Amino acid sequence: MIGETMIEKLRGVRDFYPENQYGRRVIYETLYNTLKRFGFKEVCTPSIESLEMITKKSGAGIVDEIYAFKDKGGRDICLIPELTPSIARMVVQRQKELRKPIKWCSFSRHWRYERPQKGRQREFYQFNADILGVRSSRSDFEIIAAGIECMLFLGLSNFKFHISNRKILESFFDSHGIPVKEAFTIVDKRSKVSEEEFKEMIRTLGAGEECYLQLTSLLDISGTVSECIPQISDALKDTNTHVKEALDNLKEMGAFIDHYGFSKHCMIDLSIVRGLAYYTDMVFEVFDKKKSMRSLFGGGRYDDLIELFDGQKTPAVGFAIGIPMLELLMKEEGKWPEPDFGPDYFIIMLGNVEKEAFALIKKLRESSTVEYALTGKNMKNQMNEANSIGAKNAIIIGERDLENKTVTVKDMKTGTQESVQLNKFYE
């Protein structure tokens, strides 16, 4: 009885009934098959990890935001809030034997103890892809290309990859003596506040009028990656080696994107900083073109993380796609896969014909979906069941037919039926 606490669903989790799970299955397979074309191999990580591993990356404050608890042995553990630490651990464990580049992808389930919102649940699913062990514009591009192909293979075209390189703003703020971390937080908020508020916020960090103007001219640069490089160069007064490297990186990526024919899916957007995360260089976020929703997914380069887990210096680049946001967009665009659960055949048995019927069912199941009534029913009710579950054909096996070694095959859509020799099915 609903109302008993025992069987109520917990907050922020979802059940997936067949008609909804079907679409998720299609998404999983599409994403996996897409990444496979790029040479990614699938891995799977545990759902629980030591709490220390998570705090090592994100700090002790994260404990309030995740499912952390003591197991029966008194160990501090948690349900994983993200995949990357586990991936890092897997890489470090086999550091020596893994051939670089490592290209891994993974479906994973994650948990965060936070207030549920649109597209944000306490338990959620992600698809991740990472390239580890190389630092190059090619690998940055490859991740982006894989992300774009994922969207395209899902039937989506109404999206845009906003690409940046954190080193550019990092150096910019550095050279003006502005604390980078705080500045990034403000840049990240720019789209949420008025321009006046933004100006005021950035001013409190010590930015003068000239600095503000220069910053906004950088942030407002918009266009394909290739065509924006000169604009960025112009907008930056001084360029140090970090900036030069970042510009080269964007320039090369821009060229690759053009060659690959993906320029219409990409644009420069230096306001993308990806929060305060562990990203070091190239970063990107994907939005629907109207930008009506929060970002669909994002990623970037994180060259220092593996080292943090006591590994050798291992550069890495990757992305994470949140399945809930994909689901929302696909439903909005009418691209959500609708299932057709109707079997190819529904076997109707009349009288004592189970010997022949089950032999036929097994034969047909070699290449078709076949169902039959699991409770004894009369003709009418069996036909009714065939109809209501959406069977394409009904095969009537009755004592009367079997005298002539035939069965009756009925097309459920047109209603036409014909007598077929039983041995036809075994040829």
* Contacting residues toward RNA, per CB under 7 A: 2-3, 8-13, 54, 58, 62, 65-66, 81-82, 84, 112, 114-118, 120, 185, 189, 192, 274-278, 350-351, 375, 378-381, 383-384, 386-388, 394, 396, 398-401, 408, 410, 412-415, 417
Q: Cis peptide before 101, with omega less than 30 degrees from 0?
A: yes
| Dist CA 94 CA 96 (whole Å) | 6
Name the strands in the sheet holding 345-350, side by side, starting at the edge strand that comes first in the sequence.
370-372, 345-350, 393-398, 406-411, 417-421
Q: How far is the CB of 251 from RNA (least distance, A)?
A: 26
Q: How far is the CB of 151 from RNA (least distance, A)?
A: 19
Residue 254 or 322 having the CB closest to RNA? 322
Residues 6+ apart with CB under 8 A from 92: 306, 309, 310, 311
Q: Is the dihedral of CA 72, 74, 75, 80 positive or negative?
A: positive
> With contact defined as beta carbons under 8 Å apart, do 68 and 78 qualify?
yes
Residue 138 or 392 having the CB closest to RNA? 392
Residue 175 or 295 having the CB closest to RNA? 295
Residue 37 or 118 having the CB closest to RNA? 118
> With contact defined as beta carbons under 8 Å apart, do 421 and 405 qualify?
yes
Residue 267 or 320 having the CB closest to RNA? 320
Q: How far is the CB of 198 from RNA (least distance, A)?
A: 12
Q: Is the dihedral of CA 311, 314, 315, 321 positive or negative?
A: negative
Residues 6+ apart with CB under 8 A from 146: 34, 35, 38, 40, 129, 319
Residue 374 or 427 having the CB closest to RNA? 374
| Dist CA 125 CA 127 (whole Å) | 7
Q: How far is the CB of 49 from RNA (least distance, A)?
A: 12
Q: How far is the CB of 1 from RNA (least distance, A)?
A: 8
Q: How far is the CB of 423 from RNA (least distance, A)?
A: 18
